[in-house]
């Protein structure tokens, strides 16, 4: 008998990664991902969420001068020759996964992308990051860069929602998790689970007063999004010191109640696995955040009108 595709309970894993050195070969990195996928399958997981840019170091943290080096960070095909083994493992293990990667399209457009891959190893959904933080140009005095606006275009696919098993999944990427609109648009689209990966420095050069709050604000964003939209959020970090930049961990699975059900303990490769009840979404959406009964978008415009 195959897996029960109608079940409203699932086991999910945030597959946190430690740093990926610039010197790492893609095959080495893929081995780490496959090991996590295998570990998750042993724990009975149906859905694994990998971080943003899970195949490479987070290269927007520095100015890449060499064109060949820059090209090496993007995937032209997914799956491609360097990533096929991960897709084969998903099929063999019957596990679905979400993978963040840098995408180069056929017409040479560049996006910060996440793909949802089903248990047959097929890409069934793509999302391209909309809220790109950082700068186009190098910040001379900064200890490290965020050049996402240089290396990527703003995503052009909107916040899509993908039916999967007996639920609907929405994807987001890193900085998207700080924006209320991300979760609200996905919730309006019917998403019950939001999967997102992140690369978040432990310090913010332009706002040092927030440095002591980085871990708090990471969880705050995801917990608020989960609660205010009655959804499960699976957030996965690329953590630890990568090419000189310290990144937070804190990968977590968060319930529609806003509670963190499971959280990473390390800054390295680690699975954060827990069972989730999708009917909790239904209950919260029926009893508290019943959009149809209580949400009043037609009145929100007047609040923004100037008083004078
Ligand atoms: N990769 C990211 O989007 N990082 C941002 C940092 C730059 C603030 C984040 O929101 O975590």
9-292 CATH pick, 3.60.110.10, 3.30.200.20, 3.30.390.30, 3.90.1150.10: 3.60.110.10
**Residue 146 — pLDDT band, cuts 50, 70, 90?**
very high
259 included as an active-site residue: no
Average pLDDT, the chain: 96
Alpha carbon nearest to ligand 1 atom 9, residue: 175
DSSP secondary structure string for all residues of the chain: ----TT-SEEEEEEEEB----TT--HHHHHHHHHHHHHHHHHTT-SEEE--TTTTS--GGGS----HHHHHHTEESSSS-TTTHHHHHHHHHHT-EEEEEEEEE-TT--EEEEEEEE-TTS-EEEEEE-----S-SS--TT-SS---HHHH-PPPSS-S-EEEETTEEEEEEEGGGGG-HHHHHHHHHTT-SEEEEEE--BS--TT-GGGGGGHHHHHHHHHHHHHHHHT-EEEEEEB-EEETTEEE----EEE-TTS-EEEE--SSSSEEEEEEEETHHHHHHHHHT--HHHH--HHHHHHHTS---
For position 306, what pLDDT does the model report?
65
For position 302, what pLDDT does the model report?
63
Q: Among residues of the chain, what percentage have pLDDT more than 70?
A: 97
For position 301, what pLDDT does the model report?
76
- CB count in 10 Å sphere of residue 130: 20
Which of 114, 133, 182, 215 for a ligand 1 pocket mutation test, highest count of atoms within 8 Å of Cβ?
133
Alpha carbon nearest to ligand 1 atom 1, residue: 199
237 lines ligand 1 (CB under 6 A): no
The structure's pTM equals: 0.97
For position 303, what pLDDT does the model report?
57
143 vs 51: CA distance, rounded Å: 23
For position 118, what pLDDT does the model report?
98
Of 197, 196, 177, nearest in space to 239 by CA: 197
175 lines ligand 1 (CB under 6 A): yes
Residues 6 or more apart in contact with residue 81 via CB below 8 angstroms:
none
**Residue 1 — pLDDT band, cuts 50, 70, 90?**
low
For position 84, what pLDDT does the model report?
98
Contact 245, 216 (CB under 8 A): no
CA atoms within 13 A on the CB side of 69: 12
Of 237, 226, 224, nearest in space to 280 by CA: 226
């Amino acid at each position: 008998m195959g897996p029960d595709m109608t079940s409203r309970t699932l086991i999910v894993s945030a597959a946190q990664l430690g740093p990926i050195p610039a010197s790492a070969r893609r095959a080495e990195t893929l081995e780490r991902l496959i090991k996590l996928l295998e570990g998750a399958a042993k724990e009975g997981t149906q859905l694994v969420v990998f971080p943003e840019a899970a195949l490479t170091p987070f290269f927007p943290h520095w100015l890449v001068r060499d064109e060949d080096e820059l090209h090496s960070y993007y995937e032209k095909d997914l799956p491609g020759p360097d990533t096929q083994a991960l897709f084969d493992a998903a099929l063999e293990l019957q596990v679905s996964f979400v993978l963040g990667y840098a995408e180069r399209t056929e017409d040479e457009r560049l996006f910060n992308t996440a793909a949802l891959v089903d248990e047959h190893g097929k890409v069934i959904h793509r999302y391209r990051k909309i809220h790109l933080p950082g700068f186009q140009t190098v910040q001379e005095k900064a200890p490290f860069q965020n050049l996402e606006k240089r290396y990527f275009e703003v995503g052009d696919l909107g916040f899509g929602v993908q039916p999967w098993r007996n639920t609907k999944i929405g994807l987001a990427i890193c900085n998207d998790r700080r924006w209320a609109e991300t979760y609200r648009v996905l919730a309006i689209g019917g998403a019950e689970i939001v999967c997102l990966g992140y690369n978040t420095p432990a310090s913010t050069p332009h706002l040092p007063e927030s440095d002591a709050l980085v871990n708090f604000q990471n969880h705050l964003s995801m917990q608020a999004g989960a609660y205010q939209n009655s959804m499960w959020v699976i957030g996965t970090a690329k953590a630890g010191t990568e090419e000189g930049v310290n990144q937070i961990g804190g990968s977590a699975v968060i319930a529609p109640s806003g509670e963190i059900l499971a959280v990473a303990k390390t800054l390295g490769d680690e699975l954060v696995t827990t069972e989730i009840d999708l009917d909790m979404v239904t209950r919260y959406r029926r009893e508290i955040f019943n959009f149809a009964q209580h949400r009043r978008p037609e009145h929100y415009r007047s609040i923004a009108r100037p008083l004078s």
